[in-house]
Amino acid sequence: MARQTSHIIAQPGKASPQKPARPRDPVAAGDRDAAQNRAASHNYFLLEKVEAGVALRGTEVKSIREGKANLKDAYGLIKDGEAFLLNLHIGPYSHGNLANHDETRTRKLLLHKEEVRWLQSKTQIKGHTLIPTRLYFRKGRVKCELALAKGKQDWDKRETERRREADREARVAVNASKHRMGR
């Protein structure tokens, strides 16, 4: 008795059946950020944002996919016409060996020359710096969103907090009045 084959042979003129979609990691697919710097908007006024590629080693990319990146203390620096990312902590890859990466090494940012010149001129202004706000994947490549930032004073932080609290109270009041009107 002949065995039945489980594969389907496409007939001419008919579309072949598609394979079911394999569930992908939301970080690797670019649906979710690999890392965020939530403290950046609290400590700085974020003026303008730029997307940059990051020169990484293989184990670093795999660690970022595992969610082991931390942007908390990281900052950007422009030196000799090149952009670098300092203090970006990427934890060791779980399946790495002796060739695993150094966790806080200086990493090169991949930007066009015009962007580097523009960022250098902006960071020359007193109180301005480059802060990475998030790491994410785009088409399989790790990208870093850099923000041109100006440091906040304590009173700026308190003012931002007051404004946020007032907005929240206003939203609650509007929702409560809508709820009462709906009855």
Q: Domain ranges for the chain, please list them.
A: 26-151, 153-183
Q: Which residues of the chain have pLDDT under 70?
A: 1-24, 28, 30, 182-183
Residues in the chain: 183
- At 183 the pLDDT is 58
Residue-level pLDDT at 131: 92
CA–CA distance, 171 with 106 (Å, rounded to integer): 44
Considering only CA atoms, which of 111, 112, 107 is closest in space to residue 63?
A: 107
Side chain identity at residue 30, one-letter code: G
**What's domain 26-151's architecture?**
Beta Barrel (2.40)
What percentage of the chain has pLDDT greater than the value 70?
84
- Tell me the pLDDT tens digit for each residue of 121-173: 998 888 889 999 999 998 889 999 999 988 878 777 788 888 889 999 999 99
- Spatial distance between the Cα atoms of 34 and 70, rounded to a whole number of angstroms: 9
CA distances from 168 to 129, 157, 160, 172, 175 (A): 30, 17, 12, 6, 11
